[in-house]
Amino acid sequence: MVPITTFHYLVVAAALFVLGVIGVLTRRNVVIVLMSIELILNAVNLNLVAFSRMWGNLHGQVFSIFVTVDAAAEAAVGLGILIAFFRNKETINVDEIDLLKW
Amino acid sequence: MLFLNHIYLIPLLPAFGAAMMFFFGRRLQKATVDAVCVGVVALAFLFACFTIVEYTHFAHGTGQPFQKVAYTWLGTGDGHLTFAKKDWTLAAFNVDAGFLLDPLSCIWLLFVTGVGMLIHIYSTGYMAHEGGYYRFFGYMNLFMFSMLTLILANNYILLFVGWEGVGLCSYLLIGFYFHRHSASTAANKAFIVNRIGDAGFILGALTLVWYLGSFRFTDINALARSGHFAIGDPVLTAAALLLFVGACGKSAQLPLYVWLPDAMEGPTPVSALIHAATMVTAGVYMVARSNAIFVLAPTAMKTVAIVGALTAVFAASIALVQNDIKRVLAYSTVSQLGYMFLALGVGAFAAGVFHVFTHAFFKALLFLGSGSVIHALSGEQNMRNMGDLRKRIPTTYKTMLIATLAIAGIFPFAGFFSKDEILWQTWASEGGAYRILWFVGYGTALMTAFYMFRLMYLTFFSPSRMSHEVEHHVHESPKSMTVPLVILAICSIGAGWLSWPHSLGGSANFENFLEPVFAREALVLEEEGKAAQLAAGEKEAEHTDNTEYALMFLSLAAAAVGWGMARRSYMNARKDYPEPIAVKAPPLYNLLYNRWFVDEGYDYAFTGRRKIGKVRLGVMGAGEAASWFDAKIVDGAVNNVGWVTRAVATLSTWWDKWIIDGVGVNGPAILARMISYPARLFEWGLVQWYALVMVAGLLGFGVYYVWK
């Protein structure tokens, strides 16, 4: 049995982060993109908590509370933008959100 | 001087007859028409006789011409038209309606009115059963008027008035049976071919007036004989040749003879009067009248002689095989006219005129006789369907025999003297320069005898080939037709005696009478130092008498040989008899029977009716080709000059559109667009792209700091 070190936590967090980035970059559905953004943020949270355990103090955990709050707010605002956009263009395909072109 | 002073009455009497017919003819009885029309011509004849008698008193043998001017026809107020002559001096001339009587016109006057009168009498019998009686006599009188104007005119223009008039009457009379298509076509042909000659005549007359300043014969003769002009003067040669073209048209010489055979479509008296005795001799008259000009143009004389000889032999060859009795006589006329021109061409003017005189009698007799035969056979004209008429229509037979003996040149009939004179002059003229033409003339004489006796044997001697219908109705013609025949026969015998040649002991009265007209040019010829053919004939060197006798004997021999050959072939010609030429040389027969294909040749060359595919042949085809050339090639070239402009414009357009606009104007724009492309990437509007760029930047930072 391999002992679970901090390193393993960081790898998982990195993997989650990469998946999240890939989702942001490649998914067509805007809602999925928002979900991928949440995933990125949660990966960051996991990273912070792992470091908090490593250093033995609560700095990381406190930071992750802040990140979580930020994520929630961001989700709310993002969905609000999405709904406003949907009212305008009747679509949730991210490729079609290109009004702010040159 | 009574008759001479009123000489204008001679043409006016028939004109009066024609006018009467024009206005009142339709309502008149046949007898009245006869009285008026035949009467005026008979009066004209009597008048002419008295006039000639008065003239001989007037002239006292000097041959001085009698002129009477009735009025000035063309000319300005003071009687002159002016124009610039060749040497740039102003010439003033006028054309009068004037009459000239000299020995030459006396001869013509005599036989034209005489033969005309006899033919008018004949026509009363011949045309008795035809419709349009008054119209016929009206046209005949109009013809007499025109011919007499022609003969008595004192200048070329009045002569031309008569010239055109006889052409018109020829057209009217050939097309007398105008309901027949062949007749109206033949009339057109006659008029049109004549017209070609007329163009030559007008050009010739105008050349003379331009060069010499006057149209009047007396003025022109005086100028020409003054010695002012050199022999062979080019302008006079041109004028003479042009006048001869006119004569060719009117007198049916070689290129322009084609109308005469077709003119047989007209009634027989028309053929006799117009196309044998009078109208066709107008060309000979005109050339004889212009002898002063011709003598100064030896080239023209040679041309006249050669054309005359060729025409003579050409027409005789065609006459050898024709089956229509009138066609044979028509070609015979063309041939004899050739003899007349041959005589004029070698300088024997008096001999030519003498032949005209005798020919008028026997040719008119032949035509009237053939008319009598046709009348007897109820309209049959083809000799293949005649025969054995000798005992049935004896008067016609006897008179036609006399005429045939005359035309063949048998002594002592009329034709012997005139034809022999022509042949002798051809042999001896200008030291034998024209000898080759003598051979041509000799061959023609042989052929003439052959075809004339062929005509006699086929018509009168051989066993009957007539159909039974026709044979039943054979009858001799009425007195009105036979009496003129008899009178003409007497003339055919006796006319030749008027010029009994010196070599046979006579005094050549006829030629003496004409001497003043032609004498001057005889002097010119002598002055040339040429060995002697003088038209007057009386100064001719008698040292060649032996040759003359030999030639006389040879021409008699030719006539006898021709007679004998005809007798052998045609004396016993039964139904479907073979033609000897057809038996011996079929291709030659075919060629002669089809008249050397001259009419077909003219059709191909000039009428423009023949095409090969779509291409028209002949002169009209050349015109069409020229028109095509002009429209397609010349205009095409003109149009294609615009091609260059169009090409330049196209090039310019392309340059402007692609180079100036494309490269010059749009180029920088495209360049700007290309260059700005990366810059535009920043604002695509695609959210995920932005996210990618952010990730790429993040990675970049990461890599940088890790590698650092």
Q: How many CA atoms lie within 13 A of B476 on its CB side?
A: 16
Find the farthest-apart pair of alpha carbons in chain A and give their distance in angstroms, rounded.
Answer: 58
CB contact under 8 A, A100 and B683: yes
Percent of chain B beyond pLDDT 70? Answer: 92
User: Is the confidence at residue B470, as pLDDT, over 70?
Assistant: yes
Q: How far apart are CA B115 and CA B274, in angstroms?
A: 11
- Per-residue burial over B50-66, b if 16 or more Cβ lie within 10 Å, else e, is ebbebbeeebeeebebb
* Candidate from B680, B683, B691 with C-beta closest to A25: B691
**Residue B673 and residue B695: Cα distance in Å, rounded?**
27
Alpha-helix residue ranges (DSSP H) falling in B429-508: 435-456, 468-472, 479-494
Q: State residue B28 phi and psi, 5-degree precision.
A: -85, 155
Q: Is A26 on the interface with B (CB under 8 A)?
A: yes
User: What is d(CA B563, CA B560) in angstroms, rounded to the nearest whole number?
Assistant: 5
Name the 3-class secondary structure at B61.
coil
What pLDDT shows up at residue B76? 56
Output B509 or B553, whichever has higher pLDDT. Answer: B553
Q: Which of A17, A95, A96, A99 to mutate to test the interface with B (most CBs of B within 10 A)?
A: A95
pLDDT at residue B89 in the model: 66
Does the pLDDT at position B370 exceed 60? yes
**Strand, helix or coil for residue B612:** strand
Nearest CA in chain B to A95: B686
The letter for the amino acid at B38 is: V
**CA nearest neighbour of B552 among B409, B404, B357, B350:** B409
Contact B551/B442 with Cβ under 8 angstroms?
no
CB B351 within 8 A of CB B408: no
Q: Residues B626-638: what's their mean pLDDT?
A: 87
Distance CA B696, CA B708 (A): 18
Give the pLDDT of residue B431.
67
Q: What is the DSSP letter of B535?
A: T
Q: Among A27-41, B608-622, B656-670, whose mean pLDDT is lowest?
A: B608-622
Find chain B residues with C-beta within 8 A of A24's C-beta: 688, 691
Report the pLDDT value the prediction gives residue A66, as an integer from 0 to 100. Answer: 97
B554-573 confidence digits (pLDDT tens): 889 999 999 999 988 888 87
Q: What is the pLDDT of residue B404?
A: 93
Segment B642-667 shows an average pLDDT of 87
Residue B541 scores a pLDDT above 50: no
- State the pLDDT confidence band at B71, using cuts at 50, 70 and 90: confident
| Residues in CB range of B320: below 8 A, 6 or more apart | B447, B450, B451, B454, B581, B592
Distance CA A78, CA A33 (A): 10
- Asked whether B43 and B14 are in contact (CB, 8 A), the reply is no
Closest-CA residue in chain A for B695?
A21
Spatial separation of the C-alpha atoms in residues B111 and B119, rounded to whole Å: 12
Closest A-chain CA to B684: A101
Question: What b-and-e string marks burial along B226-249, b requiring 16 or more CB atoms within 10 Å of the CB?
Answer: eeebeeebeebbbbbbbbbbbbbb
Which residues from A are below 8 Å from B682, CB to CB?
A: 102
Looking at residue A100, its pLDDT comes to: 75
Is residue B542 scored above 70 in pLDDT? no
User: Which residue in A25, A100, A102 is closest to B688 by CB distance?
Assistant: A25
Q: Which of B682, B684, B691 sits opposite A98 (nearest CB)?
A: B684
Please tell me which residue of chain A has the smallest CA distance to B698: A21
Q: Does pTM top 0.90 for this prediction?
A: no
Mean pLDDT (chain B, rounded): 85
pLDDT of B323 > 50? The answer is yes
CA A47 to chain B, closest CA, distance in angstroms equals 17
- At CB < 8 Å, which residues of chain B contact A? 680, 682-688, 691-692, 695
Tokens of A13: 């967090």
- The confidence band for B203, taking pLDDT boundaries of 50, 70 and 90, is very high
Q: Which of B399-403, B450-454, B609-613 has the lowest mean pLDDT?
A: B609-613
User: What mean pLDDT do residues B204-232 have?
Assistant: 84
Which of A21, A26, A97 faces B687 most closely, judged by CB atoms?
A: A97
A25 → closest Cβ in B680, B685, B692: B692
Predicted confidence at residue A102, as pLDDT, reads 63
Residues 32-91 of A with CB under 8 A from B: 33
Task: Say whether A102 and B680 touch across the interface (CB within 8 A).
Answer: yes
User: Do the Cβ atoms of A98 and B680 come within 8 Å?
Assistant: no
CATH numbers and ranges of domains, chain A: 28-91 (1.10.287.3510)
- Looking at residue B13, its pLDDT comes to 93
Crossing angle of helices B103-126 and B133-152, in 10° steps, is: 170
Residue B574, pLDDT > 90, answer no
Q: Is B451 exposed, middle or buried (0-12, 13-18, 19+ CB in 10 A)?
A: buried
More confident residue, B295 or B433: B295
Question: What does B619-660 look like in DSSP terms, one character per residue?
Answer: HHHHHHHHHHIIIIIIHHHHHHHHHHHHHHHHHHHHIIIIII
User: Which residue did the predictor score with more confidence, B64 or B492?
Assistant: B492
Choose from B681, B684, B687 for mutation: most chain A CBs within 10 A.
B687
Q: Which of B677, B684, B686, B692 to mutate to test the interface with A (most CBs of A within 10 A)?
A: B686
How confident is the model at residue B72, as a pLDDT? 79
Q: What is the pLDDT confidence band of residue B170, given thresholds at 50, 70 and 90?
A: very high
How far is Cα B189 from Cα B183, in angstroms, rounded to an integer?
Answer: 10
pLDDT band at B176 (very low <50, low <70, confident <90, very high): very high
Give the pLDDT confidence of A65-86 residue by residue, as tens digits.
999 999 999 999 999 999 998 8
* Structure ipTM over 0.85, yes or no: no
Cβ proximity of B118 and B144 under 8 Å: no
Of the two residues B117 and B529, the one the predictor is more confident about is: B117
Residues of B in contact with A94 (CB under 8 A): 686-688
pLDDT at B80: 54
**CA B290 to CA B414: how far, in whole Å?**
26
Residue B77 has pLDDT above 50, yes or no: no
Nearest residue, CB atoms, B688 vs list A24, A99, A102:
A24
pLDDT of residue B91: 64
**Residue B84 clears pLDDT 70, i.e. is over it:** no
Predicted local distance difference test score (pLDDT) of residue B223: 83
Across the interface, whether the CB atoms of B688 and A26 are under 8 A apart is answered yes
Kindly determine whether residue A25 and residue B684, on different chains, have CB atoms separated by under 8 Å: no
pLDDT 10s digits, A6-62: 999 999 999 999 999 999 999 999 999 999 999 999 999 999 999 999 999 999 999
Which chain B residue shows the shortest CA-CA distance from A33?
B688
The CA distance from A1 to the nearest CA of chain B, in Å, is 32
Q: What is the pLDDT of residues B126-169, one digit of tens each?
A: 988 888 899 999 999 999 999 999 999 999 999 999 999 999 99
Tokens of B281: 């001799």
What is the reported pLDDT for B526?
Answer: 47
Q: B28: which 2 tokens? A: 């008149």
Cα→Cα distances B63→B14, B60, B100, B103, Å: 28, 7, 12, 6
How many other CB atoms sit within 10 Å of the CB of residue B520?
18
